[in-house]
Structure 1
Amino acid sequence: MDLFSILAEERIKEAMKNKEFDNLPGKGKPLPKDDLAHVPSELRIGYKILKNAGMIPEEMQIKKEMLEIEDLIACCYDEEEKEQLKRKLNEKLIRFNLLMEKRKMGQTGAFKRYQSKLNRLF
């Protein structure tokens, strides 16, 4: 163990001895689900930094917008409005595919392995 780990461990033990952890909010409840568990470990820190900054990668934002448009289409009764939404969805799909092709992640590489998990998330 390095010095930092030893110091951290000692502080934790001291806090436990002083019962500083006894009244923490959420005590006894399960930890919140990690929404980045599906992302490969080598990419996770980058995604966390983006998420903490309130940003998400452009392809994820487009995918999220596509799902929102699909939901609107499913609820829409006006045929003219539905057609507008379908056009907008097609534009987003084209943009998404161009972005994936540009990033060389289209149907190969890391993205393919995690595409279904990303789709379920957003």
Structure 2
Amino acid sequence: MPRRSPNPSPEAEILDRQLGDAIRRFRTDLGLSQQALGTRLSLSGQQVQKYESGANRVSASALYRIARELDQPVTAFFPSPSGQDDLDDLLRTPEGRALSRGFSGIHDMEQRRALGVIAGGLARRPS
């Protein structure tokens, strides 16, 4: 398995941790243990733990396999370009990802607009 270079750049270390956090978030959303995900990937649970902690780098091919097992696009594991903070916040929660998947399944534009109005109204409503 790929290991960390002896002197990774600070940017690489940050990205490794963000990638590991995303793997953990998607894995736990599916209710999988590290061991269960490792078994699906023919890896040990310890290797999954090392990926999630950023101790070991995830190769491109390993990330592709992980993304397939966690039912996510590979791009979901990386930070979004600046200016997409609201979308990032939405996709960080299981409810937001479920909402996004459900919305994608609505093909009627009137229904999509209606859902937007409902969500906007709920957001302005005092709790």
Q: TM-score, normalised by structure 2?
A: 0.24
TM-score when normalising by structure 1: 0.25
Structure showing greater radius of gyration is 1
